[in-house]
A and B are shown apart, each in its own frame.
Chain A
């Protein structure tokens, strides 16, 4: 008979449920740290941070950045973090597969924490990255919202999309690892998804229901719209993303062997959330919304608030009323150079949108207004839009209305360009920017809120000469010869004589343009 001593008591004792979850959180912390050290996560995170830095760095160079429209600024936060979401998809997948790849699963499978709890920990390890993206998104949006030129309203739902997408793709990576224990699953599925989507898009187009199934529903709209005309089901989309994330997590837990009653209850709830969100976000625009878009496009005055600055009236959609002072500044600047009655002509600056074809990714062209003294302004401001608006104001001051301004040529074009650019901080740069070909010589199209203007090579030469000379000397001559300079009978050559700048060559070309 052999003698056996009593086994010493183990220090590992049964843990209560809260402590079991504490272990899951501890594992999630370790896995999050491991994720952070993965090359794709580091690379894409640096790229994202670089993008944000670049946005801040270049914010002063592109004038429009100083005047953000917040209902667009919130959506602009969605796409860049998809880099991190993709990194999460790849690296969370690899993290789950690490045990299999390294042969530790034989050992880990007999440890206390069950595979399904490890699955939850892997999903939770993505949370810090989602939180980091949420903070970055909040910072990016707050930075935009605090700019003095900011208008409009952001949506919390739109801001939630990026962090939720990071979470969703991370959980998808975990699920794929549990279903298909191979590192090739993610790239193959991504390829399959791409091909499938391409074929589906070729077959049925890109209908709304399909667009909104993606984490980021891209709906490009070149010109900002009032937020109540957007009709984006952002809140439903958030519900859909939350439901889908929980649903995928549930599937991963199930694949990891989880069978708790709570897991089943969560499954039903998340499936219901996903379905509700998916159905609700797929519904088309309501008749009321379509009607509101038509009203805002055709009869904007019904929805606008008008504010008086000096002698002119500025009518804007409610979210843009704070910007009327900027418009008034440009009008004041243009009128200060005008002679005759034009310097004091009361104008009506009317903001316009084209919301009937929602989703257009090219700037809308507004029909010129026939109302005397009415100038169109869009929903963007800053950068090129300021000299473009100045051209619109100057055109109406010279021609009377926007419709007539479309027929401007000869000396009047010279005057319009002088009024528009003469008092700009950097007239030559503004001239270059406002011309479609970014040149300061030869003929070109000049951008304006409605119809563009044509500038001949001769007119360009005269305007360039004027802009290069001291403003005061030209202003005096323009005001002194206002009547003749704004007469349809005055040629560009005569204008040059009156303004004492070299008379341009190429008279025939000008006659061809204005002769009609």
Chain B
């Protein structure tokens, strides 16, 4: 795991949150600096729970974190964290009868931007930034799914937050919209800390300068995308048949098989991708969990 310079924007130590007997977060520690950090993990890994804890939506049972030096455990600290926060939930809601402008303006008011003229300028700025300047007077009910998602991003960006939390923002978007969103997120990450939860490894590969992999409420990897990719160095090979010893294997468009795992002697190694590193990291987690279960049993 790589060292981070101080001071980080977000610093968390030992975050633990349980729902009954299930540990949604188990002793999670991390540090985030400026730029886009990707948060990868399968369903139920605890990604959304981590984002909600960092967004002060739910308190952790144990552990602590700070955002821009503010401690959310105090009332004033929590307010300061929220002032510094832009949050795009996994399934953002909208007031369909509001126009895009009115909705973002509403969020800006809830962010306590009180100067009306300045607020309206800011709302126009973020709507222009997400490419909705031309439809800001349109009711949200009349906007497409991609446009709505951009309204939600504008609502997260309004007020220029220093810490942006995006929970699977590209889900349900077509490739063109996803590409557009990547541009927006990349732009948002310039000089700002962005934590991007996603299932899309391409998003992470294209956008993020750092990546965190979670599984079972635990951080399995924290480092750069290149470091995650490097985990698959020498562990991806091609073959004419699916290799039964591979952890995963599939036929590619060229007709050959791409295998991930422990290659046999003399295998034709190929260049790994970030997804290969991710799969092997998860695979190692599963193996560790399984061996831990066996020991426990």
List A residues at the B interface (Cβ < 8 Å). 1-15, 19-20, 22-23, 26-27, 30, 37, 98-99, 102-113, 118
Contact = CB atoms under 8 A, between A and B. Distances in A.
A2 B79 contact: no
Given A10-B68, A10-B83, A2 B110 contact: no
Contacts of B55: 110
B191 A5 contact: yes
Nearest to A111: B110
Chain A interface SS verdict (over half): loop
B96 A102 contact: yes
A27 B105 CA distance: 10
B94 A102 contact: yes
B112 to A, nearest CB: 4
Interface string B87-124: 11101111111000010011101111110100000100
Interface string B49-79: 0000001110000000000100000000001
B9 interface: yes
Contacts of A103: 91-94
A15 B112 contact: yes
B281 interface: no
A23 B114 contact: yes
A267 B143 CA distance: 45
Contacts of A9: 162
Contacts of B152: 107
Contacts of A11: 122, 159-160
B82 A7 contact: no
A7 B193 contact: yes
Contacts of A110: 55-57, 82, 85, 87
Complex A-B, nearest 4 residue pairs according to Cβ-Cβ distance, in ascending order = A103-B93, A4-B33, A8-B191, A11-B160
B112 A23 contact: yes
A20 B76 CA distance: 13
B34 A109 contact: no
9 contacts: A5-B35, A8-B191, A10-B84, A11-B122, A12-B111, A26-B116, A103-B94, A110-B55, A112-B79
B287 interface: no
Contact of A112 (B68, B83, B155, B210): B83
Contacts, number: 133
Q: Which residue, of B4, B83, B122, B224, has the highest number of chain A Cβ atoms within 10 A?
A: B83
A109 B57 CA distance: 7
Nearest to B192: A8
A107 B3 contact: no
Nearest to B190: A8
A107 B79 contact: no
A7 to B, nearest CB: 4
Interface of B: 2-5, 8-9, 33-35, 55-57, 68, 79-80, 82-85, 87-89, 91-97, 102, 105-107, 109-114, 116, 122, 152, 155, 159-163, 190-193, 209-210, 223-224
B187 to A, nearest CB: 13
A9 B122 CA distance: 16
A111 B107 contact: yes
Contacts of B162: 7-10, 12
Contact of A23 (B34, B80, B113, B224): B113
B36 to A, nearest CB: 12
A107 B33 contact: no
A108 B87 CA distance: 9
A4 B106 contact: no
Contacts of A105: 93
A12 B8 CA distance: 19
A360 to B, nearest CB: 50
Contacts of B111: 12, 111-113
A22 to B, nearest CB: 4
Given A11-B122, A23-B112, A118-B110, 15 more contacts: A2-B2, A2-B3, A4-B34, A5-B34, A9-B162, A14-B80, A23-B114, A27-B110, A106-B57, A106-B89, A107-B93, A107-B152, A110-B82, A112-B110, A113-B110
A3 B56 CA distance: 27
Contact of A2 (B89, B112, B224): B224
B167 to A, nearest CB: 10
A225 to B, nearest CB: 50
Nearest to A19: B114
Contacts of A37: 97
B109 A30 contact: yes
A189 B98 CA distance: 29
Q: Which residue, of A2, A30, A108, A110, has the highest number of chain B Cβ atoms within 10 A?
A: A110
A2 B5 CA distance: 8
A118 B2 CA distance: 43
A106 B88 CA distance: 10
B5 to A, nearest CB: 5
Given A4-B8, A7-B33, A104 B112 contact: no
A2 B4 contact: yes
A107 B79 CA distance: 15
Contacts of B3: 1-2
A112 B82 contact: yes
Given A14-B80, A112-B82, A118-B110, A7 B68 contact: yes
A2 B159 contact: no
B110 A108 contact: yes
Q: Which residue, of A12, A14, A37, A118, has the highest number of chain B Cβ atoms within 10 A?
A: A12
A26 B57 contact: no
Given A2-B2, A5-B33, A111-B82, A22 B114 contact: yes
Given A5-B191, A112-B112, A107 B87 contact: yes
A7 B87 contact: no
A5 B8 CA distance: 9
B270 to A, nearest CB: 26
Nearest to A108: B110
B57 to A, nearest CB: 5
A287 to B, nearest CB: 57
B160 A10 contact: yes
Contacts of B35: 4-5
Contacts of A99: 93
Nearest to A10: B162
Contacts of A113: 109-112
A10 B114 contact: no
A452 to B, nearest CB: 61
B17 to A, nearest CB: 16
Contacts of A118: 110
A13 B89 CA distance: 22
A7 B192 contact: yes
A104 B5 contact: no
